[in-house]
Amino acid sequence: MPQLPHTVLPPVWADRMLRFICPEELHEELLGDLHEQFEHQVAELGEPTARRLYIEQTIRFCRPYFIARRLRGHSKHRSTYSSPLFLDPHMIRNYFKIAWRTILKHKTFSLLNLFGLALSMSAGFLILLLYQDGYNYDKFHKDAELIYRVNTIATRKNGEIEPYATSPKPIGKVIESTFTWVETVTVLKPFDDVIIKNNQRFDFQGKVTDENFLNIFSFSLQSGDAAHALKEPNSIILTSKLSERLFGSKNPINSTIQLGNRDIYKITGILGPNPGKTHFEFDALLSEKSSEDTVDNWANINAAYTYLKVRPKTNAEQAIRAINKYALPNYKNLAIDNRDAHYKFDLQALPDITPGYSIANAMGKGLPSHLLWFLALMGFIVIVSAIFNYSNLTLAKTFSRAKEIGVRKVMGANRSQVLFQIISEGIILALIALIIAIGFVMYFKAELSALQSFQFFDLNVSPTLSSFAYFIIFAILMGAMAGLLPAITISKLNPLRAIQKIENLAMFKRIGLVKILLVVQFAFTMLFLMIITTLHKQIEFAINMDYGFSADQVYSIRLQGIPVEIVRSKFAGIAGVERISSMDIPIGTYSNASAKMKIHETDEYKSVSSYSVDNEFIPGLGLTLISGTNFSSNPSLNTTNKEVIVNELFTEKYQLGNAAESIGKQIFLNDSTTATIKGVVKDFLFKPADDPLKPLLLRNEPSEWKMLNVKIAPHSTEKTVAALQSAWKELAPGYAFRGEFYKTTIETNFAIGKDVNKIITFFTFLSAVIGIMGLLGMTIYSVEKRQREISLRKVLGATKRDIIITLSKGFVLLLLISFCVAIPLGVYVSDLILTNFANRISAGLNIVLPGFILISLLAVITVCSQTIRAALMNPVKSLRSE
């Protein structure tokens, strides 16, 4: 055998790993054998291969046999007594017994821990349920992983990128006819309409599609033939829900229905209830109309949803490249939306659609994935702080158990047994907390379900049987995690020193760590409090700020296609109605109303916010004309030169001079007419407060009016609204009355913001409760530990005040440190949040003070409740035993 120089040695880290895995008494022989083999292999196969083989061999030593033997610390060469394995049934019974006794012995601590664990656990459970619900979309489709949606990625002229769930109509055909890796393609076009039956209107959301849709997706028909249901033009498939609304329990198959005032459709199928949640949203599926236009419009990326099913083993990346290569040349010399620079296409796999990234034109509900992650992060913070709390309290009370552990060790317990004893205490407590947490979940569930955004996102947090299994695993893991840190520290105890002198144990160095954890907890609570204060104040501000129009008593009513004059004349006769104005889209909402115009004939058309209103609009909403005149009561009949009114910002931005100077100037509208500026209205905010003030163009186009603003006299508001409703019913039987006060319109803009705030408030509450309980535990511990010192101080003449101050000083300092960390951070975060609002409050003392006062108050009460008790105690009691 060739002797090699000693320079060739196997990797050191592999040896280290082996030492870590294998029992100590085997190290010599195992390493010896391995090194010898390594030398053989270096000679035979060369160093690199030998090295690789060596690592492979060492990894193979990660066997249960060695790990179990190492944990047991068992060696027949050392002792003839067998020590039971830590997972022996007898030992487990013993762990549970001791754990139960410990829990009962330290009732206050156990209760604090229990409550903290249960609260945070319930938060964890709720998030778990939301996840279960959120990831439950489109699970029932066969071959879901082969189905993709074609998304359009628009790049704006300013460089921003916006994804769309829709794509141009022709792309589906192109993909289907060009690529061999595509199995089928289906295209869905949104088609929302109304079914008229017995003079009653039934609004529905429809999608125009083809027979491939039912082929690709696993929606099943409860009656009708899926293969032919959408073959004929003017066929319609109803969902069972819509069919029930229209026909009750009768099976309407093969009968006909009327859509709007125009088309007759034949019902060719009834869809059964969805087998599970889906991102698709429709009440009916329709086939193409016979007179469908077949113009291939590539510019309209909002036109259709395109889904394709590929053959197995298709590479999505390559597919995307192929599609873009084929589709993009169509955009050469094609005029697209003038805010977009160019488009690109992307494939999104069906399982990634919901929950997925937020995307324009998205179908269906479901929480976006980033919101789920945000919730998970909040839950994580709360759970981690509860676990830390448990660790803190358990560590803090360890001094009373040091003797017990010492005796255990002297009697022959090895480290793993002590470790598991402490961890099992955590697990048992967590399992008890589990029961309480489920109670909390049921309570919070009711609260959450009442939130508007819950309905908006179609969320459901009802636990199923499988979620209970998750809960139990979750609780056991959480208990084990909480018990781990104290278990490691305690099991390290040297038995001799534990029995001798408890106070000097090295473990109390950990108190430094405990203090840091406490600071972190309070800092987080303070941060949360500042964020909710900011959000709350901002939303209040946005609702109550001066929008520049006075809509206190103004009620907006949607006309839904009923002619304006008829409704207006009917309403005008109702007592209590002061004024009626007509317009196209209500102000104060996020809805975009815009028109295209240019100032000079040579310019390009620009988009500008624009509403079509009548002459009553300005006085009706309390707006003031600075200059010029209002529209006349009869819209001008001049079709080539129209009249418009603009706001001050418009004159400023487009440099038309001051208000008086801009009167009479001409602008160009993109329906190839010109318009003369007739008046200038004082600036008012026509969008919600998060949008900045923009230039505004008011036009006078009766054909666009779709709603009425009815100003109601203040003294008999309710009666007048009721009269309006009954008048509406007479005018338009079968049409729902759709009206609300502007105040409500503005408030609904912030409903989601309010819900977010409620959810953060919930987490803040949790983190505050957990923090306070941690503080309480620490105070109890420090008072207990310093009892003798307190008594001596009292005997030597300290007053009660002195003692309270001495005991509380440390905690106040910790609190101050956490404020110092949290306040600057909180102001920074609040500023970030506020930049989303164009009209905003300023972050300053107003957002700091409420949290500061609340936390200080709670902390002082907590600390004082314990220190005062200590100060009042009779010193003789604790000194007598000395």
- Binding residue (CB under 8 A) for other proteins from 17, 19, 47, 61: 61
In the complex with other proteins, the residue whose CB is nearer, 38 or 528, is 38
Which window, 64-72, 88-96, 358-366, 539-547, contacts other proteins (CB under 8 A)?
Answer: 64-72
Please report how close the Cβ of residue 851 comes to other proteins at its closest, in angstroms. Answer: 58
Q: Which is nearer to other proteins, 69 or 106 (CB)?
A: 69
Quote the tokens at residue 323.
Answer: 């599609």
Q: Based on CB atoms, which residue is closest to other proteins, 34 or 438?
A: 34
Q: How near is the Cβ of 23 to other proteins at its closest, in Å?
A: 10
Shortest separation between residue 44's beta carbon and other proteins, angstroms: 11
Q: Exposed (0-12), middle (13-18) or buried (19+): which is 24, by Cβ within 10 Å?
A: exposed
Residue 256 near residue 201, CB atoms below 8 Å: no
Exposure b/e, 339-370, CB count within 10 A at least 16 = b: ebeebbbbbbebeebbbbeebebbbbebbbbe
Distance, CA of 834 to CA of 843 (rounded, Å): 8
For other proteins, which is the closer residue by CB, 9 or 111? 9
**847 closest CA partner among 521, 544, 524, 529:** 529
Site for other proteins (CB under 8 A): which residue of 5, 48, 60, 80?
A: 60
Q: 574: closest CA among 715, 722, 709, 714? A: 722
User: Would you say 38 or 571 has its CB closer to other proteins?
Assistant: 38
Does residue 870 sit in helix, strand or coil?
Answer: helix
- Closest to 387 (Cα-Cα) out of 446, 474, 512, 276: 474
According to the binding rule CB under 8 A, does residue 57 interact with other proteins? yes
DSSP string of 665-720, one letter each residue: -EEEETTS-EEEEEEEEPP---S-TTSPP--EEEE--GGG--EEEEEE-GGGHHHH
CB nearer to other proteins: pick between 53 and 751? 53
Site for other proteins in 724-743 (CB under 8 A): none
CA 241 to CA 4: how far, in whole Å?
Answer: 83
Binding-site size for other proteins (CB under 8 A) equals 22
Complex with other proteins: residue 64 or 573, whichever CB lies closer? 64
CA 628 to chain centre: 49
Query: By C-beta, is 63 or 197 nearer to other proteins?
Result: 63
Task: State in angstroms the smallest separation of the CB of 87 from other proteins.
Answer: 19
User: Phi, psi at residue 267, to the nearest 5°?
Assistant: -80, 120
Q: Does 828 bind other proteins (CB under 8 A)?
A: no
- Of 67 and 499, which has the nearer Cβ to other proteins? 67
What is the C-alpha to C-alpha distance for residues 770 and 121, in angstroms, rounded to an integer? 12
Among positions 159-178, residues that touch other proteins (CB under 8 A) are: none
Instruction: At 722, list the tokens.
Output: 């009721």
Tell me how far, at minimum, the Cβ of 26 lies from other proteins, in Å.
Answer: 8
Contact 354, 366 (CB under 8 A): yes
When the beta carbons of 63 and 869 are compared against other proteins, the nearer one is 63
Q: How far is the CB of 91 from other proteins (least distance, A)?
A: 21
Contacts of 169 (CB under 8 A, 6+ apart): 187, 189, 296, 297, 300, 303, 304
The distance of closest approach from Cβ of residue 9 to other proteins in the complex, given in angstroms and rounded to an integer, is 8
Nearer of residues 20 and 605 to other proteins, judged by Cβ: 20
Nearest distance from residue 366's CB to other proteins, in Å?
49
> For residues 32 and 412, which CB has a smaller minimum distance to other proteins in the complex?
32
Nearest distance in Å: CB 188, other proteins: 57
Interacting residues with other proteins between 436 and 465 (CB under 8 A):
none
Report the residue number, 66 or 96, with the smaller CB distance to other proteins.
66
- Residues 464/468/474/475 CA torsion (nearest 10 deg): 150
Q: How far is the CB of 870 from other proteins (least distance, A)?
A: 58
Stretch that binds other proteins, among 62-70, 562-570, 656-664, 696-704 (CB under 8 A): 62-70
Chain positions 17 to 56 lying near other proteins, rule: CB under 8 A, are 26, 28-37, 39
If you ran DSSP here, which 8-state letter would residue 167 be given?
B
Single-letter amino acid, residue 582: S
CA dihedral sign of residues 107, 113, 119, 125: negative
Q: Which residue has the tokens 């907390």?
A: 433
Quick check: 422 and 491 in contact, CB under 8 A? Answer: yes
Interacting residue with other proteins among 52, 63, 157, 231 (CB under 8 A): 63
Which residue from 837, 144, 310, 104 is spatially nearest to 543, judged by alpha carbons?
A: 837
Among 24, 45, 49, 65, binds other proteins (CB under 8 A): 65
Q: Considering the complex, what minimum distance in angstroms separates the CB of residue 85 from other proteins? A: 15
Q: How far is the CB of 24 from other proteins (least distance, A)?
A: 14
* Residue 652 tokens, joined: 């400023």
CA dist list (Å): 673 to 335, 584, 638, 789 = 21, 20, 10, 92
Is 57 or 761 the residue whose CB approaches other proteins more closely?
A: 57
User: Which residues from 546-605 bind other proteins, rule CB under 8 A?
Assistant: none
- Span interacting with other proteins, options 58-66, 80-88, 210-218, 698-706, rule CB under 8 A: 58-66
Window 66 to 85, contacts with other proteins (CB under 8 A): 66, 69, 76
Looking at 60-68, 81-89, 122-130, 225-233, which segment touches other proteins (CB under 8 A)?
A: 60-68
Distance in Å, CB of 40 to other proteins, minimum: 8
Nearer to other proteins (CB atom), residue 15 or residue 755: 15
What is the nearest approach in angstroms of other proteins to the Cβ of residue 65? 5
C-alpha to C-alpha distance for 309 and 142, rounded to whole angstroms: 11
Minimum distance of other proteins from residue 20's CB (angstroms): 15
Q: Which is nearer to other proteins, 66 or 470 (CB)?
A: 66
Tokens of 370: 């980033």
Q: Rounded to the nearest whole angstrom, what is the least distance from the CB of residue 34 to other proteins in the complex?
A: 6
Hey, what's the torsion of the CAs at 605, 611, 616, 620, to 10 degrees?
A: -130
- Sequence length of the chain is 882
> Contact positions toward other proteins, by CB under 8 A?
1, 3, 26, 28-37, 39, 57, 60-61, 63, 65-66, 69, 76
